Amino acid sequence: MRPFVYERPADVSAAVAVASRFADQQDQPTKADVQFIAGATNLADYMKLGVAKPKRLLDLNALREPTLRQIKIGDGIIRFGALVRMGEAADNDDVRRICPLLSESLKLAASGQIRNMASLAGNVLQRTRCEYFRETSWPCNKRDPGSGCAAMEGFNRQHAVLGTSDGCIATYHGDFAQALIALDATVEIEGKRGARRMEFAKLHRLPGDTPDIETNLAPDDVIVAIEVPFAAWSRRSHYLKIRDRESYAFALASAAVALDLDGNMIRHARIALGGVATVPWRAKAAEEALQGKTLDQEVAETAADAAFAEAQPRRYNAFKIPLGKRTLVRALLETRDMKV
């Protein structure tokens, strides 16, 4: 690991100021000389592997603003402070009651220890676990732009079938982000340019020709909160995660579903898919396919077909298309059948 300077800013404005001073604005946050750290579960791992090489770490855990550590619920909004730990959010009874999808997506992620460490903002910004990205001896367009993609023709069982490009097929492995994108969440950001809000759906960028550019954040942007709208319908929401083992594994396919039902008729479905795409993936085509329909197996299958219509399989991950569809169908039916 490269040595780094360690600092512990006292408040958000200090963090932004130090970051702006040491980061080249042209740098991606993941490549900048100065990087933020909170839970450390993703960044420390990648620093050990030589994938992340910050020269200066700004530890956000001492930021004095109490709202960073609070979950506030009111006016149809759940506001998660950025430093709330995944475990705390998962255990919050009100969140679970209001929107089970949020709690389930958190509870099914990682392990008890990691959930105790990882901050919510850090979690949504976690980087791909692509094996070829993790190990610096492989070519990787995301890690070293222009070097090529070893996964494309390599062992790509884990890799994405949606949102891929010729340069990158690395999966976005997070779970919570699937809930957030399905629920039209918003992130609150403070940066050199002042405070601003961004739709969660705009936070992550498709790999395209620049898989190294992962988000629309500047290197001195600090996410301070994530806001999720809720209403009566959000009680009928659910996260289904399918993986090789029962726990502590990334999704092979997952589905975040929230259904606004009028009797058996779908007023509005909100759907996101995990484990199958390069970024948190809102399945709008599936949602549209369900609009106004009565949800049964056949309708669910039509929606699942729509969700994967554009999927691009590779040699070892072609199964993710049928698996992703089946996962969505099962999630839809289970959500329909929830007692709320």
Footprint on residues 133-172 left by other proteins (CB under 8 A): 134-137, 150, 153-155, 157-158
Angle at 252 between CA 319 and CA 225, to 5 degrees: 140
Residues between 227 and 256 with contacts to other proteins, criterion CB under 8 A: 242-249, 252-253
Helices 297-307 and 320-336, axial angle in degrees (round to 10) = 140
Strand, coil or helix: 272:
strand
Q: Which of 17, 18, 13, 30 is nearest to 68 (CA)?
A: 13
192 binds other proteins (CB under 8 A): no
Q: How far is the CB of 262 from other proteins (least distance, A)?
A: 25
How many residues at the interface with other proteins, by CB under 8 A?
92
Build a one-symbol-per-residue string for 54-83: x at contacts with other proteins by CB under 8 A, - elsewhere. Answer: -xxxxx-xx-x-x-xxxxxxxx-x-x-x-x
Residues within window 96-115 making contact with other proteins, judged by CB under 8 A:
110-114
Within 291-320, the residues that bind other proteins by CB under 8 A are 318-319
* Residue closer to other proteins, measured from CB, 72 or 284: 72
The amino acid present at 152, given as its one-letter code, is M
Residues 12-41 that bind other proteins (CB under 8 A): 13-14, 17-18, 21-22, 37, 40-41
Residues 6+ away with beta carbon under 8 Å from 232: none
Residue with tokens 């949606």: 162
Find the helix or strand (DSSP H, E) in which 229 lies.
strand 222-229
CA distance linking residue 99 with residue 109, whole number of Å: 17
CB of 91 to other proteins, least distance (A): 7
C-alpha of 286 from chain center: 20
Q: Which stretch binds other proteins (CB under 8 A): 50-58, 163-171, 212-220, 229-237?
A: 50-58
Residue 330 binds other proteins (CB under 8 A):
yes
Among 6, 292, 294, 296, binds other proteins (CB under 8 A): 6
Among 204, 176, 173, 172, residue whose Cα is nearest residue 87: 176
User: Among residues 152 and 206, whose Cβ is nearest to other proteins?
Assistant: 152
